[in-house]
């Protein structure tokens, strides 16, 4: 181990001990983010920064930055023999300094300057330098939340998630960071809307804004687009103070090939597979992590712990899991390499995901791991001990696609697609599911959620309200992308914002579009729960708020999501009338959910129920309050001793057109 002094007052006196180097080599260093990267410290009573980098195949490495004129001759790093780690201490460098690494590849060629893979802060894109972050600990006040969050995120708890792209929820205006100026408004809005969690599209630093964060390079750095690490931590703390959980989308499947990033990092395929049949993703023109390399696995594990541990984030939604699990994902025959048994399963990715989930649960109690996995891979949410991948929840992409397909059909044709709404219950208990209406459904020409609904303008809004009522009654946790809660006409635009103007007077499509760009200066006006100038959009917003509040207050709607005994079809086969009716049950509570997916009101429609007495009409998506025709059951119905659908008691109901009605047994 060398203790040689470098140029310009720098020193290579080692900071990393032999145990550190051993753990890094084994891929088992849980504190690697505190060892590699740039860290403010002192050496021989001199303040400065210790830089450490893993680049085993480089012939020479230097730190360059605004403190040395970006001159690679002034601060060379020293290699720790046998480890592939380089380090140097540079005195007088302070937090906020810009830096990169200059590497000479194994052939001696000077590579493009590289950003620090372990940087905890980065320059505002399109600039690409790393930033020396402040090393002081964040000021947390969320101990009560952290102690109780496990119960708030369990399978028998209500989860209603508001999915947000931080850059386009509302356009940033004025002074201060996005976390400061819009964060409090977002928290206030989500709480008042009754959501239990906010889920953010990736906020890890990424060079291309149009990737929405799904092509990240700064796996330890919150994007400078929104503010500083300290401001992000304060935002998380404020979420917890308001009773909101925070979930981040996180991307360990691939990374972009930008020259300043991980690609060909030390002159070799270090982070990626060398063979493009394994290392290149044809769908996204990105590179795929080599999960067979210990140090790469350690890099990604440490990134997950950075967000869950250091930033107190309550969960990670792991993106593109299917692309990780299958070696032939989106590849032609002959364009992929089978595993050692000749199969298509990516055994290294499977082991990585299992280890990741075990580590996250062990190191960050109460945090949840969510898989965006679009295939029928078995046991995604089974425990690792039982042969599963160990996730807490899985997005139910099949349910989303089937039900949206149904809602796009004209009601006169829905009888031929009835099973699209019922099929989800065939496999509802094979995993612990989240029902997502995500950003992916309102981009790339797919149109808006309201635009997917069939019929004229009135019917589109009625269909959307009925669909949301069906979704909130159905087993599975809930996720709704921003803008869907107001039924905006416009497809999501990451360079724009939610069409808040459609909540104002008028409310028609043209009116909403003409007001794009107008935003409320504070969050209060965005909550149009009452007023003189109601629009259909405000009605949808009120409905989502009321669905969330009913959901959180009704254990039968969430407490038995993972228990088959908590659900029972009452009517699942009335395709001729396009009517669905099911029971949700928890302990002694019974909830009846009825959806009429045609524009024809149905009077004296008899439905069997398991309990005698009054059934209160808790939600009617056709209520005038939500923009409907105001047909209903006058607040509730008394059961009659008339047998129906296998029950001794039954209700005679008026089913409003294109509506979902929720009844709760009283007494």
Whether cis (ω within 30° of 0) applies to the bond prior to 126 is yes
Would residue 372 show up in a list of annotated catalytic residues for this protein? yes
d(CA 286, CA 265): 15
Asked if 369 and 361 touch (Cβ cutoff 8 Å), the reply is yes
Closest CA to 100 of 170, 50, 38, 32: 38
**Given 20, 123, 319, 484, the catalytic residue:** 319
CA dist 283 → 288, 355, 395 (Å)? 12, 27, 21
Residue 508 burial class via C-beta count within 10 angstroms: exposed 0-12, middle 13-18, buried 19 and up: middle
- List the catalytic residue out of 20, 249, 372, 617: 372
Instruction: Please name the residues in contact with 45: beta carbons below 8 A apart, sequence gap of 6 or more.
Output: none
Sequence-distant (6+) residues with CB within 8 A of 636 are 614, 615, 616, 617, 663, 666
Torsion angle of C-alpha atoms 131, 495, 173, 483, degrees rounded to 10 = -120
Cα 91 from Cα 312, distance rounded (Å): 32
Q: Which two tokens stand for residue 141?
A: 């006040």
CA pair distance 213, 370, nearest whole angstrom? 17
Q: Do 301 and 355 form a contact (C-beta atoms < 8 A)?
A: yes
DSSP 32: G
Closest Cα partner for 601 from 655, 651, 565, 638?
655
Residue reference for tokens 């990516």 = 346
In degrees, rounded to 5, the angle at the alpha carbon of residue 499 between the alpha carbons of residues 199 and 397 is 40
Give yes or no for a contact between 658 and 411, defined as CB atoms under 8 angstroms apart: yes
The encoded tokens of residue 575 equal: 């395709």
- Give CA 444 to chain center in angstroms: 19
H/E element holding 154? none
How many other β-carbons are positioned within 10 Å of the β-carbon of residue 22? 13
Cα 183 to Cα 230: distance, rounded to the nearest angstrom? 13
Cα–Cα distance between 458 and 659 in angstroms, integer? Answer: 12
Beta strand 368-371 with 315-318 is parallel
DSSP string of 241-253, one letter each residue = HTT-EEEEEE--S
Which single residue is written with the structure tokens 């697609």? 417
Classify 74 in phi/psi space as left (phi over 0), alpha (psi -120 to 50) or beta: alpha
State the burial class of residue 141 (Cβ atoms within 10 Å of its Cβ: 0-12, 13-18, 19+): exposed
DSSP string computed for 505-534: S--SHHHHHHTTT---SSSGGG--SS-SS-
- The span from the first CA to the last CA of the chain, in angstroms, equals 77
Catalytic status, residue 205: no
- Helix or strand run (H / E) with residue 16: none
Show which residues are catalytic.
Answer: 319, 372
């Amino acid at each position: 181990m060398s203790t040689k002094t470098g140029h310009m007052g720098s020193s290579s006196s080692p900071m990393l001990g032999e145990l550190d180097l051993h753990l890094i080599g084994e891929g088992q260093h849980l504190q690697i983010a505190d060892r590699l990267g740039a860290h403010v410290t002192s050496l021989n009573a001199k303040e400065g920064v210790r830089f450490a980098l893993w680049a085993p195949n480089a012939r020479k490495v230097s730190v360059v930055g605004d403190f040395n004129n970006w001159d690679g001759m002034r601060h060379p790093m020293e290699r720790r023999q046998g480890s592939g780690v380089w380090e140097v201490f540079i005195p007088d460098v302070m937090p906020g300094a810009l830096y990169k690494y200059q590497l000479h590849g194994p052939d001696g060629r000077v590579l493009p300057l590289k950003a620090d893979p372990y940087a905890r802060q980065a320059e505002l894109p399109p600039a690409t330098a790393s930033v020396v972050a402040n090393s002081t600990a964040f000021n947390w006040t969320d101990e009560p939340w952290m102690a109780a969050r496990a119960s708030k995120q369990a399978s028998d708890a209500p989860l209603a998630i508001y999915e947000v792209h931080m850059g386009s929820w509302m356009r940033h205006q004025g002074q201060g960071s996005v976390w400061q100026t819009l964060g409090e408004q977002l928290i206030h809005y989500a709480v008042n809307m009754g959501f239990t969690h906010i889920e953010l599209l990736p906020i890890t630093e990424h060079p291309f804004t149009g990737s929405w964060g799904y092509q990240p390079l700064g796996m330890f750095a919150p994007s400078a687009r929104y503010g500083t690490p300290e401001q992000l931590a304060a935002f998380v703390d404020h979420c917890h103070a308001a009773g909101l959980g925070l979930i981040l989308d996180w991307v360990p499947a691939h990374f972009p090939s930008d020259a300043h990033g991980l690609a060909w990092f030390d002159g070799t395929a270090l982070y990626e597979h060398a063979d493009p049949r394994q290392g290149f993703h044809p769908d996204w023109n990105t590179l795929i992590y080599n999960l067979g390399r210990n140090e790469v696995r350690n890099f990604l594990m440490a990134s997950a712990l950075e967000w869950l541990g250091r930033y107190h984030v309550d969960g990670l939604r792991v993106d593109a899991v299917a692309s990780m699990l299958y070696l032939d994902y989106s590849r032609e025959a002959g364009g992929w390499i089978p595993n050692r048994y000749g199969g298509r399963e990516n055994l290294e990715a499977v082991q990585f995901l299992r280890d990741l989930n075990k580590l996250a649960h062990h190191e960050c109690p109460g945090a949840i791991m969510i898989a965006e996995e679009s295939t029928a891979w078995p046991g995604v949410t089974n425990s690792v001990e039982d042969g599963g991948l160990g996730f807490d929840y899985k997005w139910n992409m099949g349910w989303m696609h089937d039900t949206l397909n149904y809602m796009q059909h004209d009601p006169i044709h829905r009888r031929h697609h009835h099973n699209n709404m019922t099929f989800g219950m065939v496999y509802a208990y094979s995993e612990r599911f989240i029902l997502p209406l995500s950003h992916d459904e309102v981009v790339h020409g797919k149109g808006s959620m309201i635009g997917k609904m069939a019929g004229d303008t009135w019917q589109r809004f009625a269909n959307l309200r009925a669909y949301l009522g069906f979704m909130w009654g159905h087993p599975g946790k809930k996720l709704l992308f921003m803008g869907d809660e107001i039924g905006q006409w416009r497809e999501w635009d990451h360079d724009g914002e939610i069409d808040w103007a459609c909540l104002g007077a008028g409310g028609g499509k043209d009116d909403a579009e003409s007001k794009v760009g107008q935003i409320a200066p504070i969050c209060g006006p965005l909550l149009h729960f009452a007023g003189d100038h109601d629009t259909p959009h405000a009605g949808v917003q009120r409905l989502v708020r009321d669905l969330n509040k009913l959901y959180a207050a009704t254990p039968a709607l969430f407490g038995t999501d993972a228990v088959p005994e908590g659900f029972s079809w009452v009517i699942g086969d009335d395709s001729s009338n396009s009517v669905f009716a099911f029971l949700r049950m928890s302990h002694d509570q019974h909830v009846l959910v009825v959806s009429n997916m045609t524009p024809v009101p149905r009077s004296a429609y008899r439905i069997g129920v398991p309990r005698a007495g009054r059934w209160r009409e808790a939600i009617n998506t056709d209520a005038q309050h939500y923009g409907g025709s105001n047909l209903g059951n006058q607040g509730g119905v008394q059961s009659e001793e008339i047998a129906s659908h296998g029950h001794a008691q039954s209700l005679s109901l008026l089913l409003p057109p294109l509506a979902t009605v929720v009844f709760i047994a009283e007494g």
